[in-house]
Amino acid sequence: MYYCRDWVWRGWRIRYAYARPDETPNRDPSRQHQTPLLFIHGFGSSWQQWHRNLSAIGEHHPVYALDLLGFGHSQKAATGYHVPLWADQVFAFWQTFIGRPAVLVGHSLGALVAATTAVEFPQAVDKLVLLTLPETRQEMVGNPRLRQVIRTIECLVASPLLIRLIFQIARQPRFIRAGLKLGYRDPAAITEDLVAQFVSPTGDRGAAQTLCRLTQSATSSTYSASRNTLLAKLSQPTLVIWGEGDRIIPITQADGLCHSPQIERLNIPAAGHCLYDEAADDVNQAILDWVTPPAQPPPQLGSA
């Protein structure tokens, strides 16, 4: 069981959810002192993407999830959007509600935000779990095959009128359902409730203007540090999890990740981009094992 609340940050309304072991059906007050986890969603999504994770992991640890500014049911603010802004939001949330080192769990864009938070505010982060980690503009522009595509997209997003037209099309349930089919390997997982999670925020005041700002900001070199720059600066143990069937951020992108003794990789064969939902049991167990590794058996004593 989890609860939703609103919080005001810099004058903007932020939606978040939480669950605590002492408030779950299998109450265990002692687990309230276990390491807390903070979940950060991907682009276009909301805290609700984690509903299968919060319920399960909340039985063992305090868990929190928030809608990044401009997404979900957080305010569609008239501001410039970039990863450092969201990292500031995550850190302020941590200061307000958690206050002790936590595990950050980020998906896609949320993984970039989680890694940036860990680099900029290391006192807040005990460990990281990154579910796919997208290439940033710097890395894609460096790829000759993608350079022209990037420039074409940047020309398109220079037109707010075109973005508003795209918004009117993209908010339609049939369009969102088609997009989710890329993220999920199993079409049966795309329910009416799931589609509604993505449709509902598009009715918020300022949603179309926010999409314009988001798309324009994403073409800036200051939108985010490159993922390998972030990974090279991490001091926290980091688990990177990837779905082998990911068609949005293919697992081949993982081959170019920075190699560091702090970073471990886990591939999940039966999952696509939305592995947190499609392979929730596997992801939940991986997270729990990473947060609290299984106890090692005592060494066997040799015979006298």
How high is the pLDDT of residue 303?
A: 42
> 89 by DSSP, 3-state: which?
helix
Residue linked to tokens 């993407």: 49
Distance, in Å, from the CA atom of 186 to the CA atom of 200, rounded to the nearest integer, reads 23
The first and second tokens of residue 210, run together, are: 């926010």
Partners of 26 in beta bridges: none
In this structure, of 15-24, 204-213, 224-233, 244-253, the range with the lowest mean pLDDT score is 15-24
In this structure, of 155-159, 176-180, 214-218, the range with the lowest mean pLDDT score is 155-159
Residue 75 has pLDDT above 90, yes or no: yes
**287 inside domain:** yes
Neighbours of 38 (CB within 10 A): 25
How high is the pLDDT of residue 112?
A: 97
How high is the pLDDT of residue 264?
A: 94
- Distant-in-sequence, close-in-space partners of 15: CB < 8 Å, separation ≥ 6: 4, 5, 6, 7, 46, 47, 66, 67, 72, 73, 74
Enclosing domain of residue 132: 3-139+224-291
pLDDT band at 268 (very low <50, low <70, confident <90, very high): very high
How high is the pLDDT of residue 304?
A: 37
How high is the pLDDT of residue 260?
A: 83
How high is the pLDDT of residue 171?
A: 81
∠ Cα 228 234 240 (to 5°): 65
The first and second tokens of residue 271, run together, are: 């999952």
- Residues making up the chain, counted from first to last: 304
pLDDT > 70: what percent of the chain?
83
More confident residue, 107 or 215: 107
CB 191 within 8 A of CB 223: no
Cα torsion 273, 277, 278, 280: sign: positive
Q: How far is CA 35 from CA 3, 81, 193, 292, 303, in A?
A: 19, 30, 31, 9, 39
Cα dihedral 92, 39, 83, 128, rounded to 10, equals 100
Residue 174 has pLDDT above 50, yes or no: yes
Of the candidates 272, 225, 240, which has an alpha carbon nearest to the alpha carbon of residue 111? 240
Mean pLDDT of 131-159: 59
**296 inside domain:** no
How high is the pLDDT of residue 43?
A: 93
CB 136 within 8 A of CB 226: yes
Distance, in Å, from the CA atom of 123 to the CA atom of 112, rounded to the nearest integer, reads 18
CB 238 within 8 A of CB 263: yes
How high is the pLDDT of residue 150?
A: 45
How high is the pLDDT of residue 144?
A: 54
How high is the pLDDT of residue 142?
A: 46
Distance, in Å, from the CA atom of 108 to the CA atom of 30, rounded to the nearest integer, reads 33
More confident residue, 170 or 193: 193
Q: Give the pLDDT confidence of 111-137 residue by residue, as tens digits.
A: 999 999 999 999 999 999 999 999 876
Mean pLDDT of 11-29: 79
CB 55 within 8 A of CB 1: yes
Mean pLDDT (the chain, rounded): 86
Say which DSSP state 299 is in: P
Q: What is the pTM of this model?
A: 0.88
Distance, in Å, from the CA atom of 93 to the CA atom of 17, rounded to the nearest integer, reads 12
How high is the pLDDT of residue 297?
A: 60
pLDDT > 90: what percent of the chain?
62
| Distance separating the N- and C-terminal Cα atoms of the chain | 53
More confident residue, 20 or 296: 20
Mean pLDDT of 165-191: 86
**175 inside domain:** no
**201 inside domain:** no
How high is the pLDDT of residue 155?
A: 54
How high is the pLDDT of residue 138?
A: 54
Of the candidates 53, 56, 69, 68, which has an alpha carbon nearest to the alpha carbon of residue 105? 53
Report the CATH number that the domain containing residue 245 is assigned in CATH.
3.40.50.1820
CB 128 within 8 A of CB 115: yes
Say which DSSP state 100 is in: S
Structurally, how many domains does the chain consist of? 1
